[in-house]
Amino acid sequence: MPFFEPLTTSHRVTMHGRLVRCPHCSHVSRVYHLGFSALQCIHCKAMVRKYDWTVGPNVTRKDLQPTYRWKAQRDRSSTFGKTKKILMSRLSHPVSEYKITKEELPGWSRPDLVLVIDRRFDRAVQVFSDTHLPDDQSLEWADSSGNRSVHLFMLNGEQVDLPHRTFQMFKEFLAERHTDVDLLMHREDPGLGIFLPELDEAILQAGGTPDGCIKVKA
């Protein structure tokens, strides 16, 4: 379990994000910047002030890679070891009584593809979802920050990548209504705070404040 500590002005975030934990439900999320005054927990929906969050470690490239462990199965009981040698040392019965396998444990996976849109059009997303998608599919609001909102694509109640075809259908839905949207993106989930490097990095480098971010005094 990662170590979490109170968030302070000295904390920084690296390119792969950093873990933060909700004080209300203990749900752990990944953020890509700390330029916010408050964020809504995607799990319990509580609006949490910035310094009420606790912060964990930065996510590293190594964390994104899968890891492996060895497993010995005997009837309904299982024994695990980081290496085969360690596993063998833990067995209390003859090896022949076990089924020995090597398991892959996924690292941090790529975030799912989502819909990022000007939050003024959240209602349009809901209407499209209700009227144009099959019963087993939906677009569900997940987060808003500044003028931005993120909507997740759900299939049979589980979040999956937003299909390109569905995104194109939504664009056509807006075009039929002669609706011009300033922000409409099909991309990986940007995480809490909806920091978009392709838009926001240049603003930060110029000394500005990206949409949804609040300047914090040093």
Indicate whether 56 belongs to any domain: yes
CB 153 within 8 A of CB 136: no
The answer, yes or no, to whether residue 94 has pLDDT greater than 80, is yes
What pLDDT does residue 1 have? 46
Indicate whether 217 belongs to any domain: no
Q: Hey, how many other C-beta atoms are within 10 angstroms of the C-beta on 30? A: 19
Domain boundary among 105, 133, 159: 105
**In this structure, what DSSP letter does residue 59 have?**
P
Residues 96 and 121 in one domain: no
Residues 166 and 99 in one domain: no
CB 56 within 8 A of CB 19: yes
DSSP per residue, 132-191 = HS-TTEEEEEEEEETTEEEEEEEETTEEEPPPHHHHHHHHHHHHHTT---S-EEEEE---
Contacts of 52 (CB under 8 A, 6+ apart): 23
Between 151 and 212, name the one with better pLDDT: 151
Indicate whether 130 belongs to any domain: yes
What's the predicted TM-score (pTM) here?
A: 0.57
Q: Position 103: which residue type?
A: E
CATH number of the domain where residue 143 is located? 3.30.70
Indicate whether 204 belongs to any domain: no
Indicate whether 211 belongs to any domain: no
Number of independent structural domains in the chain: 3
Range of the domain at 81: 67-105
Indicate whether 12 belongs to any domain: yes
Residues 118 and 170 in one domain: yes
Residue listed under structure tokens 């990944």: 30
Percent of the chain with pLDDT over 70: 94
**In this structure, what DSSP letter does residue 63 have?**
G
Mean pLDDT, all residues of the chain? 86
Residues 78 and 118 in one domain: no
